[in-house]
Structure 1
Amino acid sequence: MEEPKRVKPYVKPEGERWGLLLVYTGDGKGKSTAAFGLALRAHGRGLNVRIFQFLKHQGARFGEHRALARLGIPIEGLGDGFTWKSRDLKASKALAQEGWERAKKAILSGEWDLVVLDEATYPLRYGWVSLEEFVDVLKHRPSHVHVVVTGRLAPGALLDVADTVTEMRKVKHAFDQGVPAQRGIEH
């Protein structure tokens, strides 16, 4: 019997390299986890990485915060917790706007090779951060800067300018069966 020919599963593109815009969206679990995994990969390759979380508060100490701090990867909470539980939506909006200004400055500085905007779709959806400005900043960032945006219901204008879009789809989740969030798995 003849040995089968080995075929590459793809043809390696020969195009130009540039900073990518990746969007992880959908109603399934894993958007932030995927972004943090990418941040670890980039850090491991010597890229300068910074993470902004638009819903988590500044003092949050979930598992990812502890691990990233040990590795020296800056992660900054920009919100006041889960926005849908906010008692003061004006304050939540102000935090999102202030956070966007910090994130925008980091993106445009060119100092960071990868900037993660975790849960950024929420302030965009609520109208707290201008979608037009957000997209414009991403389109005009320094050419080497990679950006990852996570969150449910990513707006079409964001999807249109993204280089890679991944939609996480929920098939089944323990929470729907009455199982609370598990330490080390969900937080």
Structure 2
Amino acid sequence: MEPITPQADQEAAQLDDEATRSGLSDEQYRRKMQRRKAVQEQRLSQRIDKKGLIIVNTGTGKGKTTAALGMVLRSLGHGYRVAIVQFIKGAWEPAEKAAFAPWTLGQNNQPPQLEFHAMGEGFTWETQDKARDIQKAEEAWQKSLSFIRNPDFQLILLDEVNIAIKLGYLEVVDILAGLAEKPDDSHVILTGRGAPPELIEAADLVTEMTLIKHPFREQGVKAQPGIEF
């Protein structure tokens, strides 16, 4: 593998920008795309083929869990075994659990491809019992560890675990120690706003969802089936 050089990445971005400009002849565009292909091949030669990732979806905007569920669906499509553990959520039956139900059934004496555990009891203003919330978060974390340590699972989604850390129900040092136990080729996704800096530093892929507009805030529209739950 060639060493990674920023020049190739910079040239790729420049060529992408130039290709969108008006006034290019067909021949000029073709030459730029030929060069763009060569640069892309150079960039790929500088990358490793595979690595188990720690992925964090955080921020105040909507879509953190939704994006993670997309990765779950892709992984199931590849035939991987997947585990979902939902923190905080659990007082209601999430629609995604119903949608994923066919994958939670084992066939021909084989274990199910998907394990789905919604282990919370709702938002803090609904539960109104901090001690029990901490207990449920710890139970969810212990369940998560059983999947993180299991080499049979290629993807583990810890949904809203960042909220549990932010609220002080779980310690980030314990989360990092648990993530260090995962097999080299497995992926772990951690969602929820307020991801701590230590987790962001340890992660391989971090996406921050930014709130620009939301119908609840601007229009007074309540959460709707299929959109929020």
Q: TM-score range by the shorter chain?
A: over 0.9
Larger radius of gyration: 2
Matched with 1:183 is 225
> Is 1:79–1:96's contact at 8 Å kept on the other side of the alignment?
yes
In the alignment, the residues of structure 2 paired with residue 36 and residue 25 of structure 1 have an alpha-carbon distance, to the nearest angstrom, of 14
Q: Give the deviation of 1:109 after TM superposition.
A: 1.7
Matched with 1:79 is 120
Give the alignment of 1:129-140 within 5 angstroms: 129-140=170-181
Q: Choose between structure 1 and 2 for higher RCO, CA contacts under 8 A separated by at least 6 residues.
A: 1
For structure 2, the residue ranges without an aligned partner over 5 or more in a row are 1-24, 105-113
Aligned partner letter, 1:31: K
Matched with 1:53 is 86
> What is the count of residue pairs matched by the alignment?
186
> Is 1:68–1:74's contact at 8 Å kept on the other side of the alignment?
no
Higher strand fraction (1 or 2): 1
1:80 match: secondary structure: coil
Q: Give the deviation of 1:16 after TM superposition.
A: 5.0
Give the alignment partner of residue 69 of structure 1, picking from 95, 98, 101: 101
> Is 1:139–1:161's contact at 8 Å kept on the other side of the alignment?
no
Question: How far does the alpha carbon of each residue in 1:66-97 deviate from its partner, in whole angstroms, 9 at most, with x for none?
Answer: 10113333221111112342221111110100
Q: How much is the aligned-residue C-alpha RMSD, in angstroms? A: 1.6
User: For structure 1, which segment, 163-172 or 104-113, has the greater mean C-alpha deviation from structure 2 after superposition?
Assistant: 104-113
Give the alignment partner of residue 197 of structure 2, picking from 146, 152, 156: 156
Q: Give the deviation of 1:47 after TM superposition.
A: 1.1
> Is 1:51–1:74's contact at 8 Å kept on the other side of the alignment?
yes
Higher helix fraction (1 or 2): 2
Please give the TM-score of this superposition, normalised by the length of structure 2: 0.77
